[in-house]
Structure 1
Amino acid sequence: MALDLRRAQWRKSTFSGPEDNCVEVASNLSGIRAVRDSKNPTGPALVFSSSAWTMFLTGITDGTLDV
């Protein structure tokens, strides 16, 4: 299933430097979060449900997710 990400508003973390070696996230799309590589903005994106993205961020923040 292909999603239309043309309306996605991509942003990098404020912790990212000026290089293009970053992950960008689009959070303006209803019910999903999209993630892409800033070096390849026209390439593929990973898409997560909003709840899965929240669980990921919570796990990173509280240390229960070891990446």
Structure 2
Amino acid sequence: MINISITIDVKNPGEVAANHGIPGFVPQDLIRGKVESEIKSTIIKKLKVALADELRRNGVKCNMNIS
């Protein structure tokens, strides 16, 4: 079993939000939550692909639940 814990603290949520097309007039807390959620989602997707590829190369079948 592998346990992974990811904590994200966006220092400039307004700038990051603008890069992701989130309007700037949204309250900072909402922007921060949305941006952090998007970043986590992207990390999880890429992590699943990387893990599955590595396991497949080693002839391992697995079930993953990463959230």
Higher helix share: 2
TM-score bucket of the superposed structures, by smaller chain: under 0.3
Considering only CA atoms, is the larger Rg found in Structure 1 or Structure 2?
Answer: 2
Q: Using CA pairs under 8 Å that are at least 6 residues apart, name the structure with larger relative contact order, 1 or 2.
A: 2
Normalising by structure 1, we get a TM-score of 0.28
| TM-score under structure 2 length normalisation | 0.28
